[in-house]
Amino acid sequence: MLVLPRLADPGDRARTVRVALAVCAGLDALVVVGAAVFGPQLAALIGGAQYAGADLPMWRFALVGSLLALVQILLFSRIAHGDRRSAALIWLAVVAEVALVAGGLRWGVGSVVAAAVIATGLLALAGLRSRRGALSAGTTRIVSGPTRAAGRFAGMSFDEVRRDWTLLGERDPLWAVYVAPGTRGGRWDVEEFLALGRSDVAATRSWLAELGRPTSWTRALDFGCGAGRLSQALAEHADSVVGVDVSAPMLATARSLDRSGGRCDFVLNEAPDLRRFADGEFDLVYTALVLQHLPADVVEGYLAEFVRVLAPGGTAVLHCSTSPLWTVKGMIWRFAPARLIGLGQRLFLRYPAPMRMTAMPQRRVVDLIRAAGGSVEAIQSVDDRSTHWRLSTYVITRP
């Protein structure tokens, strides 16, 4: 029960399994040694006075129980991994082990233990079978897992998103773009807000330089530009930047804050696609803290569109929310009904409109990008304790 929540986190699962097996094996060793040394006393303690002095092979039963404990961790890891075939094999092995032990009660103790050890070995082999779907992308390991998006506001429509972000843009645009303590109600300092955009772009350029990708561009697309904090930062390294957003009030704020000297063009796009732009129009496509708020089907469509409008040899930097963390707030995102979360945001957090979240598993993002003709060069993932989500940023290229 202690490790199960962490086993559900793809980024932490491998380490959790190793640590859990090591800790469990250490405790198991103590139990088996204790049973070997204090067997008669334990028999009397557990079974009562009638077992006092009985010569029972306690250490052998402790060994079988210890092996089962180790295998249980493997079982949980395969279930959390979503690997149904391995989980089915493990359950069959469990049934076989129970049948062997129960049926072997008429055998000698050695035969029972031998049967249990053999079944446990089969169980371990099933649990440790090679993991399907893991692959490398640059220096980043893409973790296999669910291939369908899991939106916590799965029933939302694109029109609802447009309505909500129009309202957020009217009421508190800078705070809605980047939620931070002490900034609500128009209290974001504009200079700090814009400096945050420059800092984010600087970190991205440093990463791209490490990957051998260009760090200056001819024409860049800032998708979901909001109040333009990233558009203006990108304009310092691009001849022109097109900032696209679904919220007219957000774009009005972006234009009022624009200090790019005419290099930024802010465009309203109320369609769930980018058909207003030509194929290969941009040598950089950039989006951060945007896709996570869109319906899953719309996100999937935009991923294909990003590849389409990207010039051959160009670079896309795309940010998606991968999964809620196993924190208290993360579990609310994971398990609470979507409408209840939205209601709580409005009633208790006093949000002007709900900020919806959609999980996009890494495997799903990679598959969609490849299907559209793009290539995933690298992925960076981080457990964001402020949002209680695991967030992933992808570097995409178009051959």
| Dihedral sign of CA atoms 56, 60, 63, 68 in order | negative
pTM above 0.75, yes or no: no
User: pLDDT tens-digit profile of 48-62?
Assistant: 665 555 565 666 677
Q: What per-residue confidence (pLDDT) applies to 358? A: 93
Q: What per-residue confidence (pLDDT) applies to 240? A: 98
In angstroms and rounded to an integer, the radius of gyration of the C-alpha atoms of the chain is 27
Q: What per-residue confidence (pLDDT) applies to 262? A: 95
| 395, containing H or E segment | strand 389-397
- Which parts of the chain have pLDDT scores under 70? 1-13, 39-60, 75-76, 78-155
| 92, containing H or E segment | helix 84-103
| Dihedral sign of CA atoms 138, 142, 147, 151 in order | negative
Q: What per-residue confidence (pLDDT) applies to 220? A: 98
Q: What per-residue confidence (pLDDT) applies to 29? A: 85
> For strand 135-137 and strand 140-142, is the pairing parallel, antiparallel, or unpaired?
antiparallel
End-to-end CA distance of the chain: 46
Domains of the chain and any CATH numbers:
4-132 (no CATH), 136-397 (3.40.50.150)
Q: What per-residue confidence (pLDDT) applies to 55? A: 60
